[in-house]
């Protein structure tokens, strides 16, 4: 028991050390966890220039069952298809999130029917709740009075920002019908208008700032 407590405390300490880095989550099931390959580096550049972060451009890839996940205060996940978390991954990811980590899942269209059952396995006693438009993540730096912005259109549905909370603190953010990370990609990939791309980057910067502020 003492060893487990020591390891857990070490992980919390590691989260503080690496407070200016984040990683991409690789998952099993066949979904394209690697989609939007230019998005994260563009978001990092924007954050470092606009909100004075010092995030390393050397973005790492971690798996949900990897102890290395505890080195990052935020882990980003995206894709279109199937997602599977093993029991080992569930246990590791749950410990990470309850210990101060943060997971942002940006549904790149098509992930919802696969990720929701996995989130239920992850937190069987917690429900995804829609974030109110006055939540701090929408106004911590850039202002989004209407909540999550719409970047790409698919089904004519409103963008949704859903969260899982622990002790009244947001620990997991699931964004869908928005395609935030599409908007972070190189401009020539989707040919988004400048103002649309800027909205996506600003919302992403808010998420990063929110996580970094809460992990201080």
The total number of structural domains in the chain stands at: 1
Q: Rounded to the nearest 5°, which phi and psi values hold at 17?
A: -60, -45
pLDDT band at 6 (very low <50, low <70, confident <90, very high): very low
pLDDT for 19 equals 57
pLDDT digit string, tens, across residues 31-73 = 778 888 899 999 999 999 999 999 999 999 999 999 999 999 9
Q: Rounded to the nearest 5°, which phi and psi values hold at 104?
A: -110, 120
pLDDT for 215 equals 66
pLDDT band at 214 (very low <50, low <70, confident <90, very high): confident
pLDDT for 87 equals 97
Token digits of residue 23: 């990683």
Strand partners, 174: 105, 162
The residue segments making up the domain with residue 204 are 2-214
Range of weakest confidence among 1-5, 134-138, 147-151, 203-207: 1-5
Spell out the residues 6+ positions from residue 117 whose beta carbon is closer than 8 angstroms to its own.
none
* H helix or E strand, kind and range, residue 161: strand 160-166
pLDDT for 13 equals 40
Q: What CATH number should be reported for the domain holding residue 51?
A: 3.40.50.12140
CB 96 within 8 A of CB 51: no
CA distance 160 to 131: 8
């Amino acid at each position: 028991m003492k060893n487990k407590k020591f390891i857990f405390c070490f992980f919390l300490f590691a989260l503080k050390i690496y407070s200016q880095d984040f990683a991409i989550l690789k998952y099993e099931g066949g979904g394209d966890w690697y989609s939007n390959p230019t998005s994260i580096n563009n978001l990092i550049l924007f954050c470092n220039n606009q909100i004075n972060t010092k995030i390393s451009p050397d973005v790492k890839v971690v798996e949900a069952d990897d102890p290395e996940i505890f080195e990052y205060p935020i882990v980003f996940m995206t894709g279109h298809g199937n997602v599977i978390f093993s029991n080992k991954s569930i246990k590791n990811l749950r410990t990470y999130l309850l210990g101060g980590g943060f997971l942002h899942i940006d549904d790149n269209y098509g992930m919802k029917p696969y990720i929701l059952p996995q989130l239920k396995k992850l937190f069987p006693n917690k429900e995804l709740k829609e974030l109110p438009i006055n939540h701090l993540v929408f106004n911590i730096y850039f202002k989004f009075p209407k909540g999550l912005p719409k970047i790409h259109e698919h089904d004519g549905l409103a963008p949704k920002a859903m969260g899982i909370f622990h002790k009244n603190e947001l620990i997991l953010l699931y964004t869908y019908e928005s395609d935030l990370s599409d908007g972070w990609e190189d401009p020539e990939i989707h040919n988004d208008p400048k103002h649309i791309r800027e909205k996506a980057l600003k919302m992403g910067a808010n998420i990063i700032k929110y996580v970094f502020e809460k992990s201080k």
